[in-house]
C-alpha cells in the first residue's frame, strides 16, 4: 500500500496543534506500518511538499502498489494534476484528512480527489489514517476475491 502525504504534513506535531494535534508524521507512519503488518500488507509512506513529486510517485505506484491512501493536504482542493495521475493509474484509492474539512473554511469542503476515491475519512485525527488503511485493504481483498 502506498501512503501519500501532501504539503505541510511534514510539520505535524508542531503545526496548528489545535487543528492537527501533536502527533508527528513519523508517528503516523509507524502506526500505519504496525497496522499494515497486522493486516499482512506492506506499507510504504511518502511525503512531499511538491505536487510534481507526488504525481511522479503516483505514476510509479502502478508498478508496485495495490492501492493508495492519500492525504493530499491543500492539493485536495485544486490539484487537477494529482487527480489526473490518480485516475490514470486506476488503483483503489482512499482519501483521508486529519481534520473535519467540512467544519472548516468553505474552500476546504471541496475536493477534486474525492470523486475518484472509494471513500473519504476526515475528522478523526491520526486514527483516520488507520481507518483508511483498513478500508483500503478490505476493498482490495474483496476485489481480488471477485476475480477468483
Domain that includes residue 37, residue range: 2-147
pLDDT tens string 96-144: 999 988 878 777 888 999 999 999 999 999 999 999 999 999 999 998 8
Separation between Cα atoms, residue 58 and residue 26, nearest integer Å: 21
Q: Which residues are catalytic?
A: 20, 97
- Into how many domains does the chain fold? 1
Range 77-91 average pLDDT? 97
pLDDT of the residue at 146: 58
Range 88-95 average pLDDT? 98
Q: What percent of the chain has a predicted confidence (pLDDT) above 70?
A: 98
The enclosing domain of 22 has a CATH number of 3.40.50.9100
Q: 77-83: list long-range contacts, CB under 8 Å, 24+ apart.
A: 77/107, 77/108, 77/110, 77/111, 77/112, 78/112, 79/51, 79/112, 79/113, 80/112, 81/51, 81/52, 81/55, 82/51, 82/54, 82/55, 82/58, 82/112, 82/113, 83/112, 83/113, 83/116
Cα distances from 75 to residues 65, 81, 83, in angstroms, run: 22, 9, 9
pTM reported for the whole predicted model: 0.93
Q: 12-18: list long-range contacts, CB under 8 Å, 24+ apart.
A: 12/98
Amino acid at each position: 500500500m502506498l501512503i501519500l502525504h501532501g504539503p505541510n504534513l511534514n510539520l505535524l506535531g508542531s503545526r496548528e496543534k489545535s487543528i492537527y494535534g501533536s502527533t508527528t508524521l513519523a508517528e503516523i507512519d509507524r502506526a500505519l506500518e504496525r497496522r499494515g503488518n497486522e493486516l499482512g500488507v506492506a506499507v510504504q509512506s511518502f511525503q512531499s511538499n511538491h505536487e510534481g513529486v507526488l504525481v511522479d510517485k503516483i505514476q510509479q505506484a502502478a508498478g508496485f502498489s495495490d492501492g493508495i491512501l492519500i492525504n493530499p493536504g491543500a492539493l485536495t482542493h485544486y490539484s487537477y494534476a494529482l487527480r489526473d495521475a490518480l485516475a490514470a493509474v486506476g488503483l483503489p484509492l482512499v482519501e483521508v484528512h486529519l481534520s473535519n474539512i467540512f467544519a472548516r473554511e468553505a474552500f476546504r469542503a471541496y475536493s477534486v480527489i474525492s470523486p475518484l476515491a472509494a471513500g473519504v475519512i476526515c475528522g478523526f485525527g491520526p486514527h483516520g489514517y488507520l481507518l483508511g488503511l483498513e478500508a483500503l485493504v478490505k476493498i482490495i481483498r474483496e476485489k481480488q476475491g471477485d476475480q477468483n
